[in-house]
Structure 1
């Protein structure tokens, strides 16, 4: 089956010229300015919460004590929301602008569409600046927004962490306990490849030092439903956004926001292959760790990668050795050219890490950042110097003109897998092989007719003011092959709804008859 996947990135946001301005307000400015500049104007799609259950647990219970209001006013501060033409969602989540990528079927597309989020955020920054230069505010009752800085990182330097989440579809027949126990050692160890690097140890970052992962010090449990406190290695949120009888959605919160395309490609590719192996019945129980939560920070704090993790049966292995065992177990499930590229790169990276972690500084975020830190240390700058924290932050700046990551790329000191043109194309074009195609094309062509939306449906209003819920529950439905011609040839939302109904391409619910 296709391993549908995607990412959710909460970006750090700041206004250097107005440091006390609420990030809730500035995040709203970013989303609304982006929406307005692209012709949505006052029409911003309301998010339909009717099918969301964030407190339903994969272990079989639901902590929900009340029902979420099904639709929230899209003009309220802090809830701005827009579906963009590539099928992604761009919205305000708490005090962050968040980009949720469209659903894709492979690790390559997951990497490209994740990077497309950076492109969209930079467009929003430019849009905010454009309105401000005209002394205009896109928010009623608010002054024009000061210049924005956006960072793709996971810590604010004040003790808070925000997420870079991954999502993977898995078969509901898969035992969740088996799935969890098989993934825990992998998640503990994969940070040596996907870690973004961080100056400072501990949640407050007040202990001197450098570590591999930005997220590691915030993991406090082995398994948990929470995402903002008591975070677990395994998150148990059971919110599949598709047919819940047949599919689950693995919501992964133990990961860093990556600038490196190599790290991001491997993040999705390795995890997808491990899931393939688990669903095929491969037994990973021999890799069970004695104390997995403690090992998360121990691995992150060991820059030599020589720390030996203690397994439940007493054996001791390094993170590199454990990742090699996972690699060997997934090899029988490599089928596509993309999978072949994943395992080749996986093997190459662990070999380089074993020889010398800094030999991966052209591939991985944490070692690239560490190489920068070491170069400044050689000039007499201590790790405790505030400039080191600035280097850490500036690496994750998404602005190509300001970012240390992009500076490394421009100097050919950081490998890239796809071009800026490919990323820009992904920011404007939905993937062709998932339901995101239909969502993106409808929003692009008939956006002013969409009154509310979520991942599983669009509510559209026809010329006669009749409202229909167009169901998009199937991840592999409403693809370009299925509906591309229909969308292209429809000159109105009425024609599109009639075409969908006549061809029985999806379920339509006439909301006007209720």
Structure 2
């Protein structure tokens, strides 16, 4: 392993960065024995109160986040803009709470209408017939870095990142895909088999690892949005922290020209599939220069740079992820790499999703003498991702202290109702709260905030770091001045 060169470090790096996560939930409705409604039917019932109130199934809510019904009848939640790691975890987990409460309300509606049944929302990435849905990460980066160049620099890390933060699943070969190279088995990532390109503008037709669609949702002269769509949906808070935190550190090092070596792989897609099925990280991966390297060696090399980077990383001045929190990321990252190297996962088996799940499945296998293809194990695999407190396996394990926390229930509950105080979402939250109180009709997206009546009033917020804005104050005052109009 080469020595780390810190001579080229630049101080002008984004240690405070806007980021967000989009989560698509799998959905089904059963009576315990059979499916009661199709996914599209139960999704419409789940969103019925939203449509009744807002005449739309695509809205922004009081905590500044976006809630909508996506293509394929997937309820989707996109976090408000966050600028530090724990804040982001709070808002991602708040989405689970919000979606589950909508599912509970849908069950009550089904009971009243004489249909009955339980609504299940799964925070995973693959359904029972092999369809995939996403968990997308968004990172604000400077416009000066060409996205394809940034993607090439990131690709080896992202392809091997599943080793440290995959969700894991039992892999069942799809009978429609004859001659599949991979047989029944447990794999590290749920998304690795469902990407087909490295960097492209596609999303569903031919999913890439990084999507290049140019939608910064901010001043396009200053910023661009890095849209990573290869990551698994995670349940364990420490796994989310490691997934996002390690990626933040790598982005910072690239921006700071910290000397990360060129590890461009010869075949990104073949490599990501191979990595997903190797718990040791020891499968040789071909590089474009003709040499080979293992997934574990890539992670170890990037990790060694990240350790050195943290020693010189500028402390964020206002908000952002502190060096102390990044040290926690580094600690978990190092322990996970050591676990892979030694194949002793006892130091991380309460923190990393795929390790937790693999251990759980193996325990059931041993107790029941079951083969990996046993449908009871597939049910355990799926139930891990059920977001209902007290019903999903993940929540039961966490409540018993068998899965470690990164944040608290109190912080998550606050994130359910209150927008982040350190980003533009704070202003959006104020507008939405006033509109909801007065019954004012508004049209909202990430940048544009419009009061529709009596006369249209528009405020555009192109700076995602902005938390004070005189035009927003005027917009709120305008709604308050017209309170009588909205009552009539």
TM over 0.5: yes
Cα shift at 1:428: 1.1
What does residue 415 of structure 2 align with?
Answer: 426
Cα shift at 1:6: 0.2
What does residue 97 of structure 1 align with?
Answer: 75
2:43 pairs with 1:27: yes
2:432 to 443, 466, 470: 443
Structure 2: distance between partners of 1:367 and 1:315: 30
Structure 1: distance between partners of 2:112 and 2:130: 37
2:144 pairs with 1:153: no
What does residue 355 of structure 1 align with?
Answer: 342
1:392 to 381, 401, 408: 381
Cα shift at 1:24: 2.4
Cα shift at 1:230: 1.6
2:190 pairs with 1:214: yes
Cα shift at 1:84: 1.4
Q: Which runs of 5+ in 2 are unaligned?
A: 1-13, 316-321, 484-488
What does residue 400 of structure 2 align with?
Answer: 411
2:96 pairs with 1:118: yes
**Structure 1 residues 357 and 441: CA distance shift in structure 2, 3 A:** farther
What does residue 191 of structure 1 align with?
Answer: 162
What does residue 372 of structure 2 align with?
Answer: 383
Structure 1: distance between partners of 2:111 and 2:462: 43
What does residue 330 of structure 2 align with?
Answer: 343
Superposed, which structure 2 residues align to 1:38-437 within 5 Å?
Answer: 42-44=52-54, 74-75=55-56, 80-94=57-71, 95-135=73-113, 146-202=117-173, 207-330=183-306, 331-332=308-309, 334=313, 335=315, 336=322, 337-356=324-343, 358-359=345-346, 360-379=348-367, 380-437=369-426
- Checking the alignment, whether the CA contact within 8 Å between 1:26 and 1:145 is kept in structure 2 is no
**Structure 1 residues 357 and 428: CA distance shift in structure 2, 3 A:** farther
Aligned with 1:112: secondary structure? helix
Aligned with 1:414: secondary structure? coil
So what's the TM-score if we normalise by structure 2? 0.85
**Structure 1 residues 312 and 296: CA distance shift in structure 2, 3 A:** same
Aligned with 2:139: secondary structure? strand
Cα shift at 1:413: 1.5
Aligned with 2:336: secondary structure? helix
2:482 pairs with 1:468: no
2:469 pairs with 1:493: no
- Checking the alignment, whether the CA contact within 8 Å between 2:81 and 2:464 is kept in structure 1 is yes
**Structure 1 residues 228 and 445: CA distance shift in structure 2, 3 A:** same
How many residues were matched structurally? 446
- Checking the alignment, whether the CA contact within 8 Å between 1:295 and 1:309 is kept in structure 2 is yes
Q: Deviations over 1:413-446 (max 9, x none)?
A: 2111112222111111110011111112221232
2:15 pairs with 1:5: no
Structure 1: distance between partners of 2:111 and 2:374: 36
Q: Deviations over 1:139-185 (max 9, x none)?
A: xxxx8674311000000121210000000000010122320111110
Structure 1: distance between partners of 2:402 and 2:41: 37
- Checking the alignment, whether the CA contact within 8 Å between 2:200 and 2:212 is kept in structure 1 is yes
**Structure 1 residues 128 and 3: CA distance shift in structure 2, 3 A:** same
- Checking the alignment, whether the CA contact within 8 Å between 2:435 and 2:442 is kept in structure 1 is no
Structure 2: distance between partners of 1:193 and 1:245: 35
Q: Deviations over 1:81-117 (max 9, x none)?
A: 2221110111100110000000001222111211111
Q: RMSD of aligned C-alpha atoms?
A: 2.5
- Checking the alignment, whether the CA contact within 8 Å between 2:168 and 2:357 is kept in structure 1 is yes
So what's the TM-score if we normalise by structure 1? 0.81
